[in-house]
Amino acid sequence: MRVLLVDDEEEFVVTLTERLSLRGIDAEYATSSYEAIKKAETSSFDAAVLDLRMPKMGGLALREVLVKMQPKMKFIFLTGYGSEEDFNIVSAQSGTNFYLVKPVEIMTLIEKLREVVNRKGDANGNENN
């Protein structure tokens, strides 16, 4: 499984990438949406873990760009706020309930990654025929 982690908190995203790699998950990180788009232009990913709130382009807007580039990519959103409002926004705008609050337990993230990657359909939930 190849995973792209995107978060503007560099120490957090580097640590998360290392912890996933130690558990056999091929993970890369980006500290901005722009950097994530550049990585998606040259590499394919099964899933992306996106910070919901980042400067210039947040996770939901980034998802819209990435899904056009890689329609089969699946998404999990992270936030440090954990509000019901954030959950409702993610659910309504992305059609996913894959939303975790930071700090996230590594095994919880791995379980969610496996679950989302194994779901049928594209990033929008459309069945692949």
Task: Indicate whether 124 belongs to any domain.
Answer: no
With respect to residue 31, please indicate whether it lies within any of the assigned structural domains: yes
Q: What is the pTM of this model?
A: 0.84
Using alpha carbons, select from 121, 72, 81, 120 the residue that is nearest to residue 100. Answer: 81
DSSP class of residue 70 equals -
The CA-atom distances, in angstroms, between 55 and each of 7, 14, 80, 106 are 10, 18, 14, 25
Burial 3-14 (b: 16+ CB within 10 A, else e): bbbbbbeeebbe
Tens-level pLDDT at each residue, the chain (129 residues): 999 999 999 999 999 999 999 999 999 999 999 999 999 999 999 999 999 888 899 888 999 999 999 999 999 988 876 655 655 665 555 556 577 878 889 999 999 999 989 987 655 555 543
Per the structure, the count of domains in the chain is 1
Cβ contact 53:79 at 8 Å = yes
**Range of 42's domain?**
2-118
Q: What's the CATH code of the domain at 20?
A: 3.40.50.2300
